[in-house]
Amino acid sequence: MPHMLITGANRGIGLEHTRVLLSRGWHVSAACRNPDKASDLKALDPGDGRLKILAYDAGKAGAADALKAEVSGPIDILFANAGVFGPNDQSFGNSDFDAITRTLQVNAIAPLKLAEAFADQVAKSQLKVMALQSSRMGSIADNTSGGYYAYRASKAALNAIGRSLSVDLKPKGIITLIFHPGWVKTDMGGAGGTLTVNECVEGQLDLIARANPAMNGRFFHVSGEDLDW
């Protein structure tokens, strides 16, 4: 049975990935900060052992290695999805050193540590996909409006990391996909989003199902369009 490990699984896009793949018969290792409080996630449990809910805080050093101790066997999709928008005020002149550092840790460094911890288990799977939940706001080419220093820099860093992973993990047969999920109605995206979580997730899973070496290291809109770096 195929297996996904996903972070940020307790709400938003990560919760919907978990729901959809469980409904398709997958095993899901669902990582979140507070398993005890993850009531929406617990409610998805089919009760047959296919859902494992695991504690994981992307802002903590050692989190990926601790998670590795809990997740065994091949991983078809490693989805580094957890993310934060960062401090409320990201305008020029108001940069908060510690808050920007925390945003970089969660959005960029944590996915790299996950990749390092789990690359061998992904390589042993059928699909061999490493998916990074980035954002078009990390595109330097697309940045004509400025601001949002913490979020933009963290997702640009994630894109750079994803591109390096696509080179370094290619010999293991791993395909690294870097995603902009679209503007999605979640706590982060807000009610004005143009996609439901289900539209986003179905689109991302369609792309993942078509993953092939020609897609390795590319930055995709959920529509399948290539985005500029």
Ligand X SMILES: NC(=O)c1ccc[n+]([C@@H]2O[C@H](COP(=O)([O-])OP(=O)(O)OC[C@H]3O[C@@H](n4cnc5c(N)ncnc54)[C@H](OP(=O)(O)O)[C@@H]3O)[C@@H](O)[C@H]2O)c1
Residue 81 binds ligand X, judged by CB under 6 A: yes
Nearest-angstrom CA–CA distance, 187 and 117: 29
DSSP code of 37? G
Tokens of 152: 């933009």
Q: Which is nearer to ligand X, 12 or 87 (CB)?
A: 12
Residue type, 229: W
Contact 64, 38 (CB under 8 A): no
Nearest-angstrom CA–CA distance, 201 and 181: 8
Stretch that binds ligand X, among 8-16, 22-30, 89-97, 159-167 (CB under 6 A): 8-16
| Closest CB 219 distance from ligand X, rounded Å | 12
Nearest-angstrom CA–CA distance, 107 and 134: 8
Which residue in the set 19, 21, 26, 56 belongs to the binding site for ligand X (CB under 6 A)? 56
Residue 205 binds ligand X, judged by CB under 6 A: no
Name residues contacting ligand X, limited to 97-126 (CB under 6 A): 106
Stretch that binds ligand X, among 22-30, 46-54, 80-88, 111-119 (CB under 6 A): 80-88
Tokens of 43: 């409610």
Interacting residues with ligand X (CB under 6 A)? 7-8, 10-14, 32-34, 56-59, 81-84, 106, 133, 135, 180-181, 183-184, 186-189, 193
